Amino acid sequence: MSESFALLRHRMVVEQIKARGIRDERILAAMEDVPRHRFVPPHLATRAYEDGPLPIGEGQTISQPYIVAEMTQALRLTGAEKVLEIGTGSGYQTAILCRLTREVVSIERFSVFSASAEGVLRELGLENVRFRVGDGTMGVPEEAPFDRILVTAAAPRVPVPLFEQLGEGGILVIPIGGRWEQDLVQVYKKSGKAIKEFLGGCRFVPLVGRCGFAE
């Protein structure tokens, strides 16, 4: 079955990601290599490369492959950055980040997801990541500053603690809006100020926490 998964993964990259304008060769290579089917429930493994999100439990999802690629590209990674990921979830996005940057800190409010993701990433030999369990809207202040921050759930606004933990010249990517529809926003920190660029509409599960949505 591994050969079939490899073929599905290649088709995903060509038809869903490259065809929609993702040109960063490092991102394309990472998504060609990371076995997405390892990050979904076993009964959904054959659907892992479909053009859409899939449920992973607790009302959470693994994002559509193209959205993963788009958000990753918006971070403008060079390979030298320290990245904070808010919302480990399945760990798939975490794995992509591990392939593309120096180190990753990933925080998740559901301990079962954090433990599962850590197990899969260790099995794949991805060691440049530290996992945390807690309120992602508060970030991980003891690890700050971060060169990049990626938020994989929707917030009504940029959580202040996250912007504070973003280093000068850093980039934060986050879906902002209501519970059901949002805009994907790239936030650049320049002289302590937020410069925002809107990348298009999206739909994410809500970011729950002190500086996000109420549970």
Choose among 16, 21, 43: nearest CA to 31.
Answer: 16
Residue 176, both tokens:
């902002």
Phi, psi (deg, nearest 5) at residue 12: -60, -45
- Helix, strand, coil shares of the chain as percentages rounded to 5? 40, 30, 30
Catalytic residues: 63
- CA dist 100 and 68 (Å) reads 13
Choose among 137, 160, 118, 133: nearest CA to 214.
Answer: 137
- CA dist 39 and 116 (Å) reads 9
Choose among 66, 62, 64, 69: nearest CA to 88.
Answer: 62
